[in-house]
Structure 1
Amino acid sequence: MYAPTAKESSPQENLTDSRRQLFEISDTCIRFIGEASLKAAMFQIDFDTLVEQVKLQTRLDAWCDQLHELIDRMQAAGNPAKRDALNLLLIHYKVIYIWMRVCTTAGESATDSYYTDFEELVHYAEQITKPGVGMATPQPLSFDMQILGPLYYTALKCRHPAIRRRALEMLQLAPRREGLWNGHYAYVTAKRVIELEERHLNGQELPDETSRLHGLPLPDDTSRIYNLGKVPFGFRKFNHSIVPSPAYPGTLEAVFQTKPWGLLGEWQNFTEYIKL
């Protein structure tokens, strides 16, 4: 099983050190998720993949334990952690925590086991984006917040109607641009995914597996973050394509994939033009 190195097992010095360590772990996790997700979609997950998954989960959990030890030390020293900085760390920890645990499963409903974690992620984000803290309206630019990716993932992948709508609401409140992310593209895409998945429901039920949109539909290439060393939520495009449409100005051309005949059935593709 996984054995931490001396560097990894040493106490975190401060929140900056915690952030650096989390980003290093997240980089490795995201690369694994990309490979494992493709295997899962083809039902080719093997024993070695599961072993590596457990190793990375253990490494991530060890980071979280060390973070709480750091928080206790800072509190005892009369220098409590800055709340926004801590919330940002926990937001990114939670999204990687969930994603790592479902990436070896083909079914989109695997995330149902993590409603509590999604709720915590959204709660941490609300502490940053809630009105009255300078984020009541979308901000024009931010390179530091880095919450669009986790909120986008939550809105797409969490089937709980209330939680995913809280994430969607915060996508509106989050910065208009976050590094290379386009917040408005993320918002309108997530909003349309929810509409499609829940179009036959009454607002309280959960969308079934056959109505789920697979993969991670992303905004156009210029709205994605590629530098995994700095941002832990730089994921790949998987099975979707979303780009501004030259044929229909003012829209995003989105190609979605579903499996309406079950996980072993054929893919069904369809294209939509999402109004910006």
Structure 2
Amino acid sequence: MDKTHASCEGYGIWGGGHKATLHRGSSHANNKACVALSVYQPSSFPSTLNQHQINAFSHFQQYLAKKIPGVFESGFWSKLVLQASVQEPAVLHSVIALAACQAGNERLALNNYNRAIIELRQHLTCNTKYALRFTLITCMLFTCLELVRGERKASEIHLQNGLRLLSDLQSRTPRLRVASSKNVITLTQHTETSDDCIVEAFTRLNVQSALFGQGSTFLYELGDDPRKGVSKYSTASNFSTVTEARQHLDFFMNGVLWLSSQGDSLTQEGKKITNDLHRKRRILESSLDHWMVALQSSPFARSPNVGGDIQTRFGIRILRIYHTMIKIMVATCLRGKDEMIYDRYIPDFTSLLQQVWELWTQAAVEFGTIHHVNSFTADLGYIPPLYYTSLRCRDPNLRRIAIDLLAKAPHSEGAWDGRLASVIAKKVMDIEESNIYQGYEMKAGVIEPLNIRGSLLPTVPAPARINSIAIIPDPTERYKNVK
């Protein structure tokens, strides 16, 4: 499979091979995105599928469709992909390829990957919203397939091309046309339509990729907000679901990453950070505080029954971890070349690690050990916060705890592989620390969250700190999980 690298950009806009569409019951299929709620029935398998393909699809339906989205609900994975598999052979074969690859059957994965490409190329002349939707669904499946294979560069190409196609799709929707022309992707407050599901899947994975250092050229905005004249980062007094709270946090992450990139560009050009950027940073900081108040005031967070809802309970914990990380990111995003600023937030890094450790131990109790090879999720987990801590927290003890936990991560999260991230973080740590702790026994050791604390040793001096780290995938190397 090493030589197969498909790029959505090279395929054009594909149409569907069947007359059925995602818009059942609508006479305006190309102008309106309707709710995708139909359930995939086993009898819908095309007669041309062999038993190996059927087994792979069943593996996707029974395991991957639940595993990939993580603890947050996703209409894309739970409904839309399964429904589209019935309607479009390209989607069906992409699903089979992804499931086969995750299960370790590379021959089956390669055959169906190629079959999906062939099916899609038959419809190059079709340029409709219907065709765009199927293109985007397949593009997301290809992105995840390359991530499971360990092909980071190929997956990033798919993702960025998909985002461009997504912007094109939104430009064809009258209420979103202005936003899309500005390289802005609009998120709806509530995921209801097939288009909403597609947008959610791409924006979630894009945030993950941007956190890994691959960058993002797209800004997000929240649409359908009836409150006029308020800051675009404003939140309501509470959230109706964990998924809604998470969507707002994604919005903040995208905002701080964009703000950081603007500040870095000015710093590299030797220019002063503008007052406008400082103003936007303060707005983000205040909005994050309001977000936490809204989360704590939400019915699902205050409900006495939340303890019995594993998905909600874990979702809240993950969001709290990311809130802690984003607070540090917002506070430091316009730092210029001042890496010493991170020492002010050692208590926050300590809190972050305590939260991750609690989540880690609770997950082990609830779910046990992960046995699947190439265990993969496309959503938020604890790898990005640990990686961020291991790079930016220069306390020697906290840093080693973060790297140690990264090395033990049993799965991949989007572009993130825990073991690969730990290797990168350790390399950066070794370069920065050099010989400053020579003669000391340096190792990570923690039994329970309350034992996570900083060291009495000095932190890395300013001249030794690395300001910027870029992850450049080597096209000759494959990074993937091993047994």
Normalised TM-score (structure 2): 0.42
- Name the SS for the 1:140 alignment partner: coil
In the other structure, the counterpart of 1:259 is none
Native 8 Å contact 1:138 1:172 kept in 2:
no
The answer to whether the Cα contact below 8 Å between 1:141 and 1:179 also exists between their aligned partners in 2 is no
Task: Measure the CA separation in 2 of the matches of 1:5 and 1:35.
Answer: 18
Identity percentage of aligned residues: 25
- Shift in Å at residue 170 of structure 1? 1.3
Among candidates 401, 406, 410, match of residue 175 of structure 1: 410
Given that residues 139 and 174 in structure 1 are in contact (C-alpha distance below 8 angstroms), is that contact kept between their aligned partners in structure 2? no
- Secondary structure at the residue paired with 2:473? strand
**Secondary structure, counterpart of 2:468 in structure 1:** coil
Structure 2 CA distance for partners of 1:211 and 1:135, relative to 1, 3 Å: farther
Aligned counterpart, 2:447: none
Instruction: Output the CA distance in 1 between the equivalents of 2:278 and 2:394.
Output: 25
Gap runs ≥5 in structure 1: 219-241, 252-276
Partners of 2:286 and 2:414 in 1: CA distance? 30
Q: Select 2:322's aligned residue among 76, 84, 92.
A: 92
Say whether 1:216 aligns with 2:450.
no
32-41 vs 165-174, greater mean Cα deviation:
32-41
The separation in 2 between residues aligned to 1:7 and 1:153, in whole angstroms, is: 26
With over 3 angstroms needed to count, the CA separation of the structure-2 counterparts of 1:22 and 1:67, relative to structure 1, is same
Residues 169 and 183 (structure 1 numbering): CA distance in 2 closer, same or farther, change over 3 Å? same
Give the helix-richer structure, 1 or 2: 2
Q: Which residue of 291, 299, 306 corresponds with 1:80?
A: 306
Question: Are positions 1:140 and 2:383 aligned together?
Answer: no
**Cα gap change, 1:139 to 1:149, in 2 (>3 Å):** farther
106-115 or 42-51: which moved more? 42-51
Alignment of structure 1 residues 14-93 onto 2, 5 Å: 14-41=241-268, 42=270, 44-70=272-298, 73-74=299-300, 77-80=303-306, 82-93=312-323
- Residues 178 and 77 of structure 1: CA distance in aligned 2, closer, same or farther (over 3 Å): closer
The answer for the alignment partner of 1:112 in structure 2 is 343
Give the alignment's Cα RMSD to 1 decimal.
2.9
In structure 2, relative to structure 1, the CA distance for the partners of 1:76 and 1:180 (3 Å cut) is: closer
> In the aligned structure 2, how far is the partner of 1:207 from the partner of 1:91?
25
CA distance in structure 2 between the aligned counterparts of 1:114 and 1:65, rounded to whole angstroms: 21
Partners of 1:114 and 1:151 in 2: CA distance: 15
Residue 91 and residue 43 in structure 1: after superposition, are their counterparts in 2 closer, same or farther (change >3 A)?
farther
Q: Distance in 2 between matches of 1:138 and 1:169?
A: 22
* Equivalent position SS for 2:273: coil
Q: CA deviation at 1:128?
A: 2.5
- How many correspondences in the alignment? 223
Alpha-carbon separation, structure 2, partners of 1:5 and 1:47: 18
TM-score (norm 1): 0.71
1:158 aligns with 2:393: yes
Query: Structure 2 unaligned runs (5+)?
Result: 1-228, 443-456
Which amino acid in structure 1 is aligned with residue 248 of structure 2?
Q
> What is the letter of the counterpart of residue 78 of structure 1?
P
Q: Distance between the aligned counterparts of 1:198 and 1:135, measured in 2?
A: 34
